[in-house]
């Protein structure tokens, strides 16, 4: 199996591999640059059991990448957000994730490609198990640092990186998130290896460290296969947070079984966090960034209770893709048994999700809509309603 079929680099850095177009002059590299973007309008309605509010965000993402000049290229991505109708309740309830107006250059990097090695320096989106920016809210989280990716070994991707700054979704004061120092004025370092030399098997191992916070370890074994109409997969993962203190290490492990028949897909997942400690990381995830949420059993939207100390969780998800109509419908149920000592007095949390995605065609080609509902149950009351409309150009 050739590495190009694995799409590993695309998963990791969103297109870090060598540009398919090259220029003979520096001016030509800029002329051959590519522009793409997304116009966005999102609506969130939230009830956390004590407070409720809704918010509308309007904005866009604009990206420009130059052509390649002797292996060098540059890229920038700007994100903007405005909440013109937010009332005081919305400003308070959504201040940490959706209420933040303004614009930010989330990407501004220089990239160099030499053979099967790629180096990317500057502001950039990163997506790995232990370092990953979440795009579930209006402003996608980003990082500032350097990342080196190499694929010389057959069916293997190796990466090493340093993160010096981190961009949140908002600044919690009504403005779009800016780039701040990681942790207590320290850098984060990571090593990653992904191997697919065994047919159908993907092996992932990653290490990350924030010296004044914790050392983080992640491992996963996943197998997937398919016939013409039937698909199946099984996976197991392990995560460990070793705090830089007298606290004990926290451990998460899980298993997932996936099945599919034609356009119908489903999975059953289990995750467990030991009672030694939690595995919560920095800025909404387990590692660095809100997308570092490795638990297989979790809600489609909020992941409440999933990473608390001493819990057991399972999820069941079923979805069907009506490809001829551009419509996908799905539902998920998640149950989390928690220890009241570590979850605010709650010993059980249930999350019920119903979600849909629609892709327009014809005169509206490029327009996508995503509508989902999540209800909280057992010892937690409330709901989340998310509607996202995006036009990509």
Q: Over the stretch 156-187, which tens digit does the pLDDT of each residue have? A: 999 999 999 999 999 999 999 999 998 777 89
Would residue 342 count as lying in a domain? yes
120 and 3 housed in the same domain? yes
Output the CA torsion sign for 259, 263, 264, 266: positive
Let me know whether 237 and 179 are in one domain: no
Name, in order, each residue with C-beta under 8 angstroms of 192's C-beta and a sequence gap of 6 or more. Answer: 12, 128, 129, 130, 157, 158, 159, 160, 161, 204, 205, 206, 207
Instruction: Find the helix or strand (DSSP H, E) in which 231 lies.
Output: strand 230-243
Domain co-membership, 113 together with 78: yes
Q: How far apart are CA 67 and CA 180, in angstroms?
A: 30
Alpha helices in the chain (DSSP H): 8-13, 26-31, 88-93
Q: Is 185 exposed, middle or buried (0-12, 13-18, 19+ CB in 10 A)?
A: exposed
pLDDT one digit per residue (tens) for the chain, 393 residues = 333 333 333 434 444 334 445 788 999 999 999 999 999 999 999 998 899 999 999 999 999 999 999 999 999 999 999 999 999 999 999 999 999 999 999 999 999 999 999 999 999 999 999 999 999 999 999 999 999 999 999 999 999 999 999 999 999 999 999 999 987 778 999 999 999 999 999 999 999 998 788 999 999 999 999 999 999 999 999 999 999 888 899 999 999 999 999 999 999 999 999 999 988 877 667 889 999 988 999 999 877 778 889 999 999 999 999 999 999 999 999 999 999 888 888 899 999 999 999 999 999 999 999 999 999 988 888 999 999 999 999
Q: Please tell me whether residues 160 and 38 are part of one structural domain.
A: yes
Cβ 351 vs Cβ 341: under 8 Å: no
Kindly state whether residues 178 and 254 are assigned to the same domain: no
Asked if 117 contacts 129 with a C-beta cutoff of 8 angstroms, the reply is no
Contact 317/266 with Cβ under 8 angstroms? Answer: yes
User: Does residue 164 sit in the same domain as residue 311?
Assistant: no
Structure tokens at 267: 């999975």
Are residues 246 and 134 part of one domain? Answer: no
Within this chain, do residues 339 and 231 fall inside the same structural domain, yes or no?
Answer: yes
Instruction: Report in angstroms the alpha-carbon separations of 266 from 258, 316, 319, 324.
Output: 6, 7, 6, 20
Question: What is the rounded CA–CA span in Å between residue 376 and residue 302?
Answer: 10
pTM of the model: 0.89
- Residue for token pair 């034609």: 262
DSSP 324: G
Q: Specify burial of residue 71 (Cβ count, 10 A radius: 0-12, 13-18, 19+).
A: middle
Residues 6+ apart with CB under 8 A from 363: none
Contact 260, 230 (CB under 8 A): yes
Domain count, the chain: 2
- Structural domain including 70 reads 1-46+58-213
pLDDT digits (tens, 9 = 90+) for 74-109: 999 999 999 999 999 999 999 999 999 999 999 999
């Amino acid at each position: 199996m050739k590495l190009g079929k694995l799409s590993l680099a695309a998963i990791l850095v969103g297109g870090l591999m060598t540009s398919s177009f090259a220029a003979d002059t520096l001016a030509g590299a800029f002329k051959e640059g590519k522009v793409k973007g997304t116009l966005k309008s999102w609506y969130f309605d939230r009830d956390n059991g004590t407070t409720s509010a809704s918010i509308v965000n309007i904005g866009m993402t604009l990206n420009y990448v130059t052509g390649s000049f002797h292996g060098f290229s540059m890229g920038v991505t700007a994100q903007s957000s405005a909440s013109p109708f937010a009332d005081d309740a919305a400003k308070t309830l959504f201040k940490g994730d959706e209420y933040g107006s303004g614009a930010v250059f989330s990407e501004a990097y220089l990239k160099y490609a030499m053979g099967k090695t790629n180096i990317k320096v500057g502001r950039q989106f990163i997506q790995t198990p232990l370092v990953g920016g979440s795009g579930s809210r209006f402003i996608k989280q980003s990082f500032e640092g350097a990342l080196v990716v190499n694929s010389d070994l057959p069916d293997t991707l190796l990466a090493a990186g340093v993160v010096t700054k981190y961009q949140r979704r908002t600044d919690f004061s009504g403005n779009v998130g800016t780039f701040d120092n990681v942790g207590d004025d320290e850098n984060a370092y990571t090593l990653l290896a992904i191997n697919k030399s065994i047919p159908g098997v993907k092996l992932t191992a990653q290490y990350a460290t924030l010296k004044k916070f914790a050392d983080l370890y992640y491992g996963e074994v996943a197998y997937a296969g398919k016939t013409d109409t039937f698909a199946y997969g099984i996976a197991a993962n392990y995560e460990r947070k070793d705090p830089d203190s007298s606290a004990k290490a926290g451990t998460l492990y899980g298993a997932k079984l996936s099945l599919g028949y034609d356009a119908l897909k489903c999975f059953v997942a289990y995750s467990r966090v030991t009672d030694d400690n939690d595995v919560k990381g920095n800025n909404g995830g387990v590692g660095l960034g809100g997308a570092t949420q490795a638990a297989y059993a979790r809600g489609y939207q909020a992941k409440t209770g999933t990473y608390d100390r001493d819990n057991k969780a399972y999820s069941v998800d079923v979805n069907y893709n009506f490809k001829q109509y551009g419509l996908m419908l799905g539902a998920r149920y998640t149950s989390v048994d928690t220890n009241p000592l570590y979850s605010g007095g709650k010993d059980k949390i249930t999350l019920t999700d119903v979600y849909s995605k629609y892709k327009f065609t014809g005169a509206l080609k490029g327009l996508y809509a995503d509508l989902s509902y999540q209800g909280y149950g057992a010892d937690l009351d409330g709901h989340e309603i998310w509607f996202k409309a995006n036009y990509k150009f």
